[in-house]
Amino acid sequence: MQARINQTAMRLRRGTRAHRKQRDGVFRAIADPTRREILGILRSGPCAVGQIAENFRMSRPAVSKHLRLLSAAGLVTTRQAGTWRLCRLNAKPLRAVNDWLQDYALFWGESLRSLKSYMEEKP
């Protein structure tokens, strides 16, 4: 078990500074429940900023601020379509979160297997 934990620790340390910075930006972006809800809305497809804002009890500039943060994290792309600004989900940066969680899943899986072995060996 210790060898697997050491491998995970080494992999985390090996991550590039840019990769860690991007991962931290994604974590900051998804830390807010409003931004997570916006990502959920965009999962169904592109939406105009006004359509997104209709789902919240806040001003449109406040929603735009959330969208800018999501865009800075690479989670949302926007393009102009006539008078509308269309937003689209880019889920690729969420892989950094998934990778980070997988390291912990490995840790907990190994810990639970060790606990199971210990309990089975106990008289």
Place of tokens 């080494």: 10
Confidence of residue 5 (pLDDT cuts 50, 70, 90): low
Residue 38 belongs to some domain of the structure? yes
Angstrom distance (rounded) from CA 15 to CA 34: 29
Alpha helices in the chain (DSSP H): 2-14, 17-30, 33-43, 49-53, 60-72, 94-121
Residue 74 belongs to some domain of the structure? yes
| Adjacency order of strands within the sheet including 76-81 | 47-48, 84-89, 76-81
Q: Which residues contact 74 (CB under 8 A, 6 or more apart)?
A: 22, 25, 26, 90, 92, 93
Alpha helices in 31-93 (DSSP H): 33-43, 49-53, 60-72
- At 86 the pLDDT is 97
Q: Return the CATH number at 87.
A: 1.10.10.10
Residue 42 belongs to some domain of the structure? yes
Q: Which residues contact 45 (CB under 8 A, 6 or more apart)?
A: 88
Task: Note the pLDDT tens digit of each residue in 70-120.
Answer: 999 999 999 998 999 999 999 999 988 888 888 787 778 777 677 677 777
- At 8 the pLDDT is 54
Residue 45 belongs to some domain of the structure? yes
The domain of 52 spans: 32-91
Residue 104 belongs to some domain of the structure? no
- At 42 the pLDDT is 98
Residue 111 belongs to some domain of the structure? no
Residue 102 belongs to some domain of the structure? no
Question: How many domains is the chain partitioned into structurally?
Answer: 1
